[in-house]
Structure 1
Amino acid sequence: MMQLRAETTPWLEVKDLSVSYKEGIPSLRDISFSMKQGEIIGIVGESGSGKSTLIRALLGLLPVGGQYSGGEITFRDWVLLRDSQQNWRGMRGKRIAMVFQDSGSYLNPIRSIGSQYVEAIRAHFPMSRKEAWGLAVRTLARMELDDPERVLHSYASQLSGGMKQRTAIAMAAALEPELLLADEPTSALDVTTQNEVMSQLSKLCADKGTGMILVTHNMAIAAHMADRIGVMLDSRLVELGDTLRVISNPEHAYTRKLLDAVPELEGNKHDQ
């Protein structure tokens, strides 16, 4: 088991977190780490390593059959696994938000984007529909989506995959969360759109001081965006460290294997 503590009081702290399914198959084994406010952590690993289960566990959104079998999650002053589901629900959206791999599948196909957007905003902020609509327009504009009004009047089926993903990020940004959980947010997109989406995620974190845990199978994306990189293998966190250290001097053999699969890591923020 690995433990890394921030130098100051941790903003998010995970201690010995374990998750299993009804069959008793573990999906997370004794995961421990902490992060500071505004930090970006990239979690890298192959399919089935437990990385998506990890961020879903942080928001209390385990897949059907999943159950916590040990550990503790502390976000600011809240010990989430001890608190009631009502308190946990109060965290979602406003304080902790999530962007899924295929956000389009979470949009209601028979309601306009705008109606869903306004409903989400008003669920967390005391404002009129007109005020919420204005906030939605401004947030979409910051995500560099052309003609935000048209997007809001559209239905999910009328938007491209990249537009739906950027709209989902904009929805999360409108609520100004303190922590954003991003589950493979670019894996279904072409390379150009991937770059656009990752740019918007970086901008959100920089502008608002939002912390982010980014799950990805792509070591190059994590190296480009993250302050620290964690590597998961067989439901365990086998390495976690500063990005430059991990990519230049990996400690675990599996991390070296992932790095060997990347032709060249160019443009990493830590090389600038």
Structure 2
Amino acid sequence: PMLIDMRKVDRLIDLWLDEDCNYFDLTAKIMVDDGAVASFGMNAREPVVLSGLPIAELIFRKLDPGCSFETARKDGDRVEAGVTFATVTGNAQALLTAERVALNLVQRMSGIAGVTAEYVKEIEGTGAFLVDTRKTTPGLRMLEKYAVTCGGGRNHRLGLDNGIMLKDNHIAVAGSITAAVARAKALAPVLTKIEVECDRLEQVREALEAGADVIMLDNMTNEAMREAVAWVAGRVPLECSGGVRLDTIRGKAETGVDFISVGRITQSAPCVDIGLDEA
């Protein structure tokens, strides 16, 4: 399912179109008759994992509410180069004005979905889950995190209000992991989980004894993570984080951790090449 607030998407689309169009699309107004109707296909120009098709439809419908948007594929599908996966038909002026905004979103979201799928494939069979981070494009987090799910990943915190993560600076201010967890437990809403970031094995022990719900193993070696996994013995979930790359994620997953968080799948994902061509 799309875990997206469509009210917010609607507001975002207005901002995107205002940014690109300002008063009006000068080229479309001059070159295309007001009543002209056209049909365009969205085409993959390289292999892609699709994400954002419902958002593209909303963008086109914002300028032409009566347009037809037909899909031959769905979000999460892998398509090869040359495949036409959606066709939009309607007022030519409106569709040409919306074209770039719609393509930009699908290219960005599909790029994230594709990179995510590569990481997920690398850890198949290990039992570990790939999760994202808050390293997202300002204003696009909701959509980028949805794109992660299209690639087979899972979401970490959607925002700062989704859970408590006690990092080194929070712990330093509180005085210790024990004191930080105690304060969080005393004041947090009752259903809120508390995660503690640890970069040393002795911190893992303290976090577990303090009652942390999740422990992050931050920038630890694989050997240290295996030791942490053995000592915790499934009492709380363990998350591996820090500097994870496609060529190192398998080894980290094989330590026995439950989650591996990767900022690169959103922060560094390239946009894929998708075109809109006359059908």
Which structure has the bigger radius of gyration? 2
| Higher RCO, Cα 8 Å, sep 6+ | 1
Common fold by TM > 0.5: no
Task: Provide TM-score, normalisation by structure 2.
Answer: 0.29
